[in-house]
Amino acid sequence: MSTTLFDILGPKMVGPSSSHTAGACRLGYVVRSVLGRTPERAAVDLHGSFAMTGEGHGTRKAIVGGLLGFLPDDVLLRESFELARGAGLEVEFHEADLGEEAHPNSARIRVEAGGEKIEVVGCSIGGGRIRVTEIDGFPVNLRGTLPTIVVLADDVPGTVSKITGIIAQRGLNLATIRVDRTGRGERALMTIETDQEVPDDLFHDLHDRSWVHWIRNVHRLNA
């Protein structure tokens, strides 16, 4: 996918580091978005440079701020630990080795709320841009530059066309679609980027289909 002008002219953000602060905040924000609400508990594994130099860059504050729903230009990021306590969010941080292939600014974030658990792996690739590489063990490639829905569905013939048909009926333009399977005939994870935000009722419509096991809406990251 191409770099846009505002990947370069911006983001507007609180310092000090676009990769370690703004990107970290965006990762937290995406995780919150995938969970669908403010987590009650979060366990964050920091890899590479995130672990080593994150402290002085406010990386932890930024991830927590993102989990609370703040975007990188929100000066409240500075106080996110205090605000998390107020919001009933408990966070623990650990240092972790996510493997040789992992980008130096990577994190694995496990969150839960109301008994629901999600695990997301992502990295901050520079200039505040991010890439989510894994959701609940499935490989994805999600940058948050377009509204995205992530669907775990039965891997049977016709599933992709059913989903794209439902989306097209609503007049939404599909930008990209990626399908990953755990195994033939098992389950498939679809990452679908659309040009417009996905309306709530369409989301709920998909959510209620019997062959859809799990679905998440990841909003576009503007700031």
Partner 1 sequence: MFRSMEEWFAVADAAGEDLAAAALRREVKETGAAEADVRARIAEVLGVMRDAVAEGLALADASPSGLTGGRARRLDAEGPELLGGLFTRVLARAIATLEVNARMGLIMATPTAGAAGIVPAVLLTLQEERGWPEDRLVDALLVAGGVGAVIAERASIAGAGGGCQAETGSAAAMSSAAVTWLEGGTPEQVGHAVALTLQGMLGLICDPVAGLVEIPCVYRNATGAVHGIAAAEMALAGLDFPIPVDEVIDVMGEVGRKMDVRYRETALGGLATTPAGQKIAAAAGMERLVQLQRRGRTQGEESARIGPS
* Residues of this chain that bind partner 1 (CB under 8 A): 2-19, 21-22, 48-49, 51-53, 55-58, 73, 75, 77-78, 95, 104-105, 125-128, 195
**CB of residue 122 vs partner 1: minimum separation in angstroms?**
15
* In 80-130, alpha helices (H): 80-86
DSSP, residue by residue, 131-192: EEEEETTEEEEE-SSS-EEEEEEE--TTHHHHHHHHHHHTTPPEEEEEEEESSTTSEEEEEE
CB closer to partner 1, 69 vs 127: 127
**Which residue matches tokens 């063990």?**
137
**CB of residue 178 vs partner 1: minimum separation in angstroms?**
19
CB closer to partner 1, 21 vs 217: 21
**CB of residue 160 vs partner 1: minimum separation in angstroms?**
24
CB closer to partner 1, 39 vs 128: 128
What are the residues whose beta carbons fall under 8 Å from the beta carbon of 2, sequence distance 6 or more? none
**CB of residue 222 vs partner 1: minimum separation in angstroms?**
10
**CB of residue 155 vs partner 1: minimum separation in angstroms?**
32
CB closer to partner 1, 133 vs 159: 133
Reading the block at residue 55, the tokens are 């402290």
DSSP helix/strand/coil, 60: helix
Among 190, 153, 143, residue whose Cα is nearest residue 2: 143
Pairing state between β 41-47 and 90-95: parallel
Pairing state between β 187-194 and 148-154: antiparallel
- The neighbouring-strand residues paired with 179 are 190
CB closer to partner 1, 17 vs 33: 17
CB closer to partner 1, 21 vs 159: 21
**CB of residue 58 vs partner 1: minimum separation in angstroms?**
6
